Structure 1
Amino acid sequence: MSRRSFASFVAAAAVLLGACASPSNPSADEGPAGMSRSATESPSSEPGAPRVTGTVASGLDTPWGIAFLPDGSALFTERNTGRILEITDGTTREVGRIDDTRVQGESGLLGIAVSPAFDTDRLVYLYVTTEHDNRILRATFDGAAIARPEVILDGIPAGRIHDGGRMLFGPDGMLYVATGEAGERELAQDPDSLGGKILRIDGEGEPAPGNPDPDSPVFSLGHRNVQGLAFDDRGRLWASEFGQNDVDELNLVTPGTNYGWPEVEGAGGPDEFVDPVLTWPVSEASPSGLAWFEGSLWMAGLRGERLWRIDIDDSNIDGTDGEAIAATATDFLVGEYGRLRTVVAAPDGSLWLTTSNRDGRGSPADDDDRILRTEIA
C-alpha cells in the first residue's frame, strides 16, 4: 500500500479491528543508558503527568510481560528465569516455570496474555524462546498453578536479538503477536516467514478469520523488532518498534501493510511502504511496552530511560487531503528509574511499569528490577 493511499485506508481498517539488531548495532534494546533529556520533557507536576506512587513488587529478574485476571490479580513473566508469578493483594508468588526457556541476550520468557473468556476456559498464553525457535504456548491456570503448557504455534525465528514477544487480545477476540526478525533482516520482507511480523491468530493458534492471507497468521510485515502493542478506544492497533541506528518508530498497524524494514528505517521510503506516525532518536527511546490509558498512548523506553505520553490528533483520521495522522509525544520520569520495559493499564485505574536494570545497563545503583505503580496527575 502506498503512503498516498494509507490515510484513506485507516478508517476501513479500524472497522475490521473493532469488530473482529544488525551487526553494526546489535540492538537498541541492549544499548547503553539514555544520554540527555529531551526537549519535550515535562516536570512531573504538569497536569496529565505520571507520578510513581509505590512499588508493587521488587527483587525481580527482568520482568517482561504482565496480564491481569478478571479478579484484578496479575500474572507476569521473568525473561531470564522462565518463571510465571502472580501478584494478589500485594503478595507475589511463583505459579509456574517454563523449563525449556532459552535465555540469551533478548530471548527468554517474554509475553503473556489472558484469554478474554478466562472465567470459563482458564487459559493463559505465553511467548517463549526455546533451543529451536520462538513459540506460543497455551496453558490453564486454576488459581494455584499453571498447568503443563501445550504448543499452539511454533517456528517463529529466534536469536540472541530481535525476538519480539509482545502479545494481546484485540477487541475482535483474536490474539495479536509481535515478532522480530532475529537479526536476519531479510525475514521481515519474506511473507512465508513468521519473523519481523505482527501475527493475528485465534485461540487455537490458527490464522484468524479475515487475515490478509486466509492461510497465514501474518497480519502485517516489514518490522524489525516490535515489543509494544496497544489498541486505542477506536479499536485501532498501534505498535512500537526498535530502529537500528537512526530512529525508533510508532506505527498505526493495518492489515496487509508493509512497514519497510530493512529497505527503510523511519519515514521516506518507496510508496509501497507505510511511514511511521512518530519517530524518536534511538538514544531517547528504544521502546518496548505500549499501553492505551486515559485517552493517550503510553510508551516505555529502555535506552531512553523514560516514559512517553503520546497524544493522537484524530481530526484527520478520515484521510482528508491525504494528510498523515498528527501526534505529539511528551516524556516523563527521565532517568529516574532506569530502563523501563513494560507499561500496562491496571484495573484500579493506575499504570504499572516494569524496570529492566538487572542486567547492569540501567541507572539505579541497587540494580533492582521492580514493578512500579503510577498515577496520572
Structure 2
Amino acid sequence: MKRKVIGAALTAVLLLLAACTQSPPAEEEGREEEHREEKTDSSYQVLAEQLRTPWSIDLDGDTIYISEREGNIVQIKDGTLSRQSVHTEKPVAHQGEGGFLGFALAPDFQDSGKAFAYHTYDQDGKVMNRLVLLKQEGNQWTESQVFLERIPGSNVHNGGRLAIGPDEMLYVTTGDSGEGELAQNQESLAGKILRLTLDGKIPGDNPTAGSYVYTLGHRNSQGLAWNSDGELYSSEHGPSGTPGGHDEINEITAGNNYGWPEIIGDEQQEGMKTPLYHSSETAIAPSGIAFDEEDYMYVATLRGQKLYRFRPEDASLEAVLEGEGRLRDVKVHDGKTYVITNNTDGRGVPSDQDDRLLVLK
C-alpha cells in the first residue's frame, strides 16, 4: 500500500521538536555549534572512526564503501578500514561544500569493479562538477570514463547525490551553484535531478528528448530514495537568510518543476509542484535519505543534527538518533541502518573520534 507523508502535520510536529532558527546566507547547512554533548550511546555500534569529511555510503554485501570529500574512498571489510586513493583526470577540488561527493557502486560491481562518482573540480578558474565512472584496481580507484562535465558548481550548492533506481537508471542531484535562476533554466544542468543510463547515455523515455534533465526547480538536493512501490523521493535544502528554513521532502515525478526559486513552502504557482513536506522556518538541512523494509523514511540532517524517521501511517516524525552532531548520509541494507557523522566539514565541532560510521542496533 502506498504511504504518503502529510506535509502540514509533519511541519507541526517538527516545530514542536526544534526551535525556530535561521541560517546565514550561503550556509544553509548550519553554523558551527558552540558545543556538542559527549555521551555513550547503547543504541548504536561504531564501525569506523576518524573518517575525513565523509559524504556517501554504499555497500557490497558486508563490505562498506564511503566517499571522503578530500578525494578518497574508505573500504571497511571484516572490521578493517583501508583508505583507498582515487585518481581522476581532473583533480578533485575540495573547497567549500565541494569535493569528492556522490558515490554509487555499479550493479555488477562484484564482476566489473566499477562505480559512479561525482566530484568538484576547477575549470579555468571556475568551479564545476563532473560525473565519472571509476574502476577499482587493488587498493586504488581510477577514472575510466567521463559521463558529464561542466555541471555548474561553486563553494555552495553542488548537489552531488547519486543513486541507481529500480529501473536500473542512474539518478544525479545537482545544486543551483548559488545562482537560483539556473534551476529554472532547461538548458542548464544546475538545480536539477538528472537521469542517465548506466553507460552514460540519455534514456529514450526522459521527459525531454535529448536531455538528461528529469526534474527541475531544485535548490540543493542531497537525498534520493525509492520506497517499495518504486516511488522516488528527494530531500532538499531551503533558502538561507530571511525567510530561512523551508527544507523539503519531495515526491519526484518525471518532468515536474519543484519551484525554486519562484516558490517555497506552501506557496503555489501554476506548473510548479509544492513539497510533500517542508520545515517552515526551522532549518534542518536534510541530506541523505533511505527507506526501510516497512517504508519508513530515514532522513540524516546537518543543521538538525538528528536522524529522523517519518511514519507515514500516522503522519508523525520521530528522532531516532541525536547528540552525535551533523549527519550526512544514511543507508538501510539487509535490515541494518548505517549513518555517517559529518562534524569535520568545517561547520561542526568534531571530537577526537570524528567522523564516524555508526550502525543502529
Task: State the TM-score, normalizing by the size of structure 2.
Answer: 0.84
Q: 1:215 Cα shift?
A: 0.4
> How far, CA to CA, are the matches of 2:270 and 2:351 in structure 1?
47
> How far, CA to CA, are the matches of 1:77 and 1:261 in structure 2?
28
8 Å Cα contact 2:32-2:349 kept in structure 1 = no
Correspondent of 1:73 among 45, 63, 72: 63
Once the two structures are superposed, what CA deviation does each residue of 1:36-85 show, in whole Å capped at 9, x if it has no partner?
xxxxxxxxxxxxxx96321111111111011112x321211101x21112
Once the two structures are superposed, what CA deviation does each residue of 1:290-333 show, in whole Å capped at 9, x if it has no partner?
011132110001011001101224xxxxxxxxxxxx84322233
Q: 1:143 to 1:311 in 2, by over 3 A?
A: farther
Equivalent residue pairs, number? 323
Correspondent of 2:347 among 340, 354, 361: 361
Q: 1:179 — aligned with what?
A: 174
Give the secondary-structure state (helix, strand or coil) at the position aligned to 1:255: coil
Alignment partner of 1:345 is 2:344: no
Q: 1:333 to 1:145 in 2, by over 3 A?
A: same
> How far, CA to CA, are the matches of 1:254 and 1:328 in structure 2?
24
Correspondent of 2:152 among 151, 157, 177: 157
Q: 1:15 — aligned with what?
A: none
Q: 1:260 Cα shift?
A: 0.2
Q: 2:251 — aligned with what?
A: 252
Q: 1:195 Cα shift?
A: 0.4
Alignment partner of 1:266 is 2:258: no
Q: 1:149 to 1:221 in 2, by over 3 A?
A: same
8 Å Cα contact 2:28-2:283 kept in structure 1 = no
Could you tell me which amino acid in structure 1 is paired with residue 98 of structure 2? S
Alignment partner of 1:312 is 2:298: no
Alignment partner of 1:169 is 2:164: yes
> How far, CA to CA, are the matches of 1:67 and 1:83 in structure 2?
14
> How far, CA to CA, are the matches of 1:34 and 1:330 in structure 2?
25
Task: State the TM-score, normalizing by the size of structure 1.
Answer: 0.81
Could you tell me which amino acid in structure 2 is paired with residue 268 of structure 1? E
Q: 1:144 Cα shift?
A: 4.0
Could you tell me which amino acid in structure 1 is paired with residue 324 of structure 2? Y
Q: 2:29 — aligned with what?
A: 29
The percentage of counterpart residues that share the same residue type is 37
8 Å Cα contact 1:283-1:303 kept in structure 2 = no
Q: 1:103 Cα shift?
A: 1.3
Q: Counterparts in 2 of 1:55-94, with a 5 A limit?
A: 55-69=46-60, 71-79=61-69, 81-94=70-83
Q: 1:144 to 1:367 in 2, by over 3 A?
A: closer
Unpaired runs of at least 5, structure 2: 1-22, 36-40
> How far, CA to CA, are the matches of 1:181 and 1:111 in structure 2?
16
Q: 1:214 — aligned with what?
A: 209
Q: 1:227 to 1:57 in 2, by over 3 A?
A: same
Unpaired runs of at least 5, structure 1: 1-22, 36-49, 314-325
